[in-house]
Structure 1
Amino acid sequence: MAIENLQFRKAAEADINSIWKIIQQAIERRKLDGSSQWQDGYPNPETIRQDIENAHGYVLSAGENIIAYCAVLFNNEPAYDHIKGEWLTNGDFLVVHRVAVSGEVAGQGIATGLFKLVEDHAVANNIFSIKVDTNFDNVPMLKILEKLGYTYCGEVYFRGSARKAFEKVLKPG
């Protein structure tokens, strides 16, 4: 599926059911992969609702069908203030959370394409750093981050658990 034919846009309240279905599929894939990520009731429909209310939720759609979801936050992740390690930069940054791809298109490079669109979105908003974290056992996400040139910076902690933290410095325009 060519990423050029997809639309990256802010999620709307009308998208919640489609997004939640995709999140549930991703939760099940993490479980089948043997990952502990997302196996504790998070994320949930309220998380998605809050993302949308706070203008953090974004979807990737092919025509009318939503095929991926993520939360995008500007300069807003308190857990990142306490990294065991060191970020590459200390200026403005964009955070990517809750990346999930529909089971119908999983394994087709959609998450990689989603990250590229998020990077384009950051540059368009004059933000040249993307920070992201993932579970130590989320192998698909770790492979995507490696492929896209994200640098491992250390560990951050969410809900009492250590997570691998990465950053990528982007080039202007």
Structure 2
Amino acid sequence: MSLIFTRRAQNSDVDKIVQILNDATSFLKESGSSQWQSGYPNRATVEDDIKNGCAWVLTVDNEVAGYAAVVIGREPTYADIEGKWENNVDTYATIHRIAVSSKFRGMHLSQFFLSNIISLTYAQGIHNFRIDTSRKNKIVQHIAVSHNFIERGIIQVTEDPVDSSRIAYELNLR
């Protein structure tokens, strides 16, 4: 039986996290998505996430198996949405850069990881969650919907020169 848990990322995790993000970037490219194909996210992104205290890892038997950044506060790219957020709150959690290692693909660990992220953040008093993804990223779309996130509209990102539109989702737990 494996021990699976979520913890804050540490500087010693950076190499493994970068490898996971590189695997995810390749997987997205193979699926025809332009998401993450312009050099973002990268090592500096991960190092900033750790420095800012928003980096989380999923571990399986003490091996880093997944990564996500959970940013609490206002997300600038969410200010302009073709659609409407249900709750216009100042403090919410945006889940960015969620990925699971190709070594663990198919084990449904992303479901477990997202559930843990929501629970840990909810315990900090955050009840509104947001996530976005490309139209071609069916996996993140499925994970969001399976956790009762509701599609709220389209936002624009700057790091994808091919397709800057992203489907934006929201989860309210009040």
Q: TM-score under structure 1 normalisation?
A: 0.93
Q: What corresponds to 1:73 in structure 2?
A: 71
What letter matches 2:126 in structure 1? I
- Whether contact under 8 Å (1:9, 1:60) holds in the other structure is yes
Q: Are the counterparts in 2 of residues 119 and 170 from structure 1 also a CA contact under 8 Å?
A: no
* Comparing 61-70 and 154-163, the one that deviates more: 154-163
Q: What does the per-residue CA deviation read over 1:21-44, in whole Å, with 9 as the maximum and x for residues that have no partner?
A: 111111111111111111111111
Distance 1:121 1:94 in 2: 11
CA–CA separation in structure 1 for the residues paired with 2:87 and 2:74: 15
Tell me the alpha carbon deviations over residues 101-135 of structure 1, each in whole angstroms, 9 at most, x when there is no partner.
00011121111111101110121011111101101
Residue aligning to 1:167: 170
Structure 1 residue identity aligned to 2:171? K
TM (normalized to structure 2)? 0.92
Structure 1 residue runs of 4 or more that deviate by more than 4 Å after TM superposition: none
Q: Which amino acid aligns with 2:84?
A: E
**1:153 is matched with which residue?**
152
Equivalent pair of 1:100/1:111 in contact (CA under 8 Å): yes
Secondary structure of 2:79 counterpart: helix
1:63 Cα deviation after fit:
2.4
Give the superposition deviation at 1:136. 1.0
Gapped regions of structure 2 (runs ≥ 5): none
Output the CA distance in 1 between the equivalents of 2:74 and 2:92. Answer: 8
Q: Provide the aligned C-alpha RMSD in A.
A: 1.4
Separation in 1 of the partners of 2:108 and 2:131? 18
Gaps of 5+ in 1: none
For 2:88, the equivalent position in structure 1 comes to: 90
Q: Distance in 1 between matches of 2:102 and 2:137?
A: 16
Residues 3-82 of structure 1 mapped to structure 2, 5 A cutoff: 5-82=3-80
Identity %: 31
Measure, in 1, the Cα distance between the counterparts of 2:172 and 2:8: 23
SS of 2:104's equivalent in the other structure is coil
Q: Which residue identity lines up with residue 13 of structure 2 in the other structure?
A: D
Number of residue pairs the alignment of both structures matches? 169
